[in-house]
A and B are shown apart, each in its own frame.
Chain A
Amino acid sequence: MTLVMPLFALIIVLFGLVRRVPVFDLFLEGAKDGLQTLYHIAPAIMGLMFAVSLLRASGAMEALCQMITPLADAIGFPAEIVPMALLRPVSGSGATALLLSVFSDCGPDSFAGRVASVLAGSSETTFYAVAMYYGSIRVKFTRHTLPAALAADFTALVMSIVTVRLFFY
């Protein structure tokens, strides 16, 4: 699995060479786009990391997790990732801040860390995407878009626990 990223890069560069495109020039062009994306998301990341770190330092996060723990334990769900699961459909940067908070509390290779990783990788910022796409064409009645999209997030939540148990324990 450690070979995944290098192999992916190798295939793309070889494909580019076969197709005779200016590989490095394209790389620079894309890298510039990447930096622009970073420039756009940086303020949100700063603001949300600030809020999440306050939540952790004030003991509020701990209290929240303690409150959730009995319920979460009953359904076999790690309480530490509940805040992230709740914020995920609303804010990508917020979910990233909370994902890192799970990593530093439990470790990325712990049960909670793995479930949080799978959840982060298989769900989307649903509300943002729905608002952006429909807002762009001024559609007001989205019919059953939101229920279906939220069902996807809920499925990802359940499947992240199921798959991590299946693969690692």
Chain B
Amino acid sequence: MLNVIWSLLVIVSVVCSFLFGKSENLSAAMVDSGADAVELLLTLAGILTLWSGIMKIAEKSGLTTLLARLSAPLLRLLFPALDKDGEAFGFITMNLTANLLGLGNTATPLGLRAMAELDRLNGHGDTASDEMVIFVVMNTASLQLLPTMLGSLRQSSGSTAPFEILVPVWLSSASALTVALSIAIILNKKNNRTPR
């Protein structure tokens, strides 16, 4: 999909620059964009390195496990059919806690293992199970306690209060999560009334 979008962006830009007589701007942008991108990458390098380091301490000192244990009773309500001591449920709670802490590197492999376990319980079928739907939906609407990357991007763009958007971000993602989960649960129940 990105192959199409990226090509479209480039083609539309070049054609528009001819139409609007902005070919000079375009040539300049071609040179500058590389420099801008490198500057952004350096900012990102700082944030990513620092916070990945700090979050590794959180992970290995057991903070992630602690949070996972605290959130387990809540998550059990969403996955009533799963064995609460089983591997699938364990990976799911660990993945969601890692997401909550913004540990993308840790969350993805845990999520893939959770999916592999759910796949086994589903008999390796080619149709998603109820649990898979709920799990993937939670991952696409994941809540993050401290959006460090966002804060740093705001700060490097000259914001006077980079984290003033924190509470709105929480409210907005919590609403998104609630809506998505409600839809997933309702449709799960509806679908299951008629045999698949």
Contacts and interface: CB of A to CB of B under 8 A. Distances in A.
A58 B146 contact: no
Contact of B115 (A19, A118, A120, A137): A137
Contacts, number: 337
Given A26-B56, A90-B2, A124 B50 contact: no
A28 B50 CA distance: 9
Contacts of B58: 12, 15-16
A34 to B, nearest CB: 3
Nearest to B117: A137
B70 interface: no
Contact of A108 (B41, B51, B157): B157
- A interface majority secondary structure: helix
Given A96-B153, A137-B116, A149-B136, A51 B13 contact: yes
Nearest to A19: B61
Interface string A3-47: 011001100110110110101001111110111011001100111
Contacts of B171: 159, 163
B90 interface: no
Contact of B140 (A26, A56, A149): A149
13 contacts: A4-B146, A15-B61, A31-B52, A38-B44, A54-B9, A54-B29, A57-B22, A100-B157, A109-B159, A113-B154, A121-B172, A136-B112, A142-B136
Given A13-B57, A117-B154, 13 more contacts: A1-B164, A27-B56, A46-B34, A46-B41, A51-B9, A57-B29, A58-B12, A58-B20, A117-B150, A134-B128, A139-B126, A153-B141, A159-B176
Interface of B: 1-2, 5-6, 9-10, 12-14, 16-17, 20, 22, 25-26, 28-30, 32-34, 36-38, 40-41, 44-45, 48-63, 104-105, 108, 111-112, 115-116, 118-119, 124-128, 132-133, 135-137, 139-142, 144-148, 150-151, 153-154, 157-169, 171-173, 175-177, 179-181, 183-184, 187-188, 191
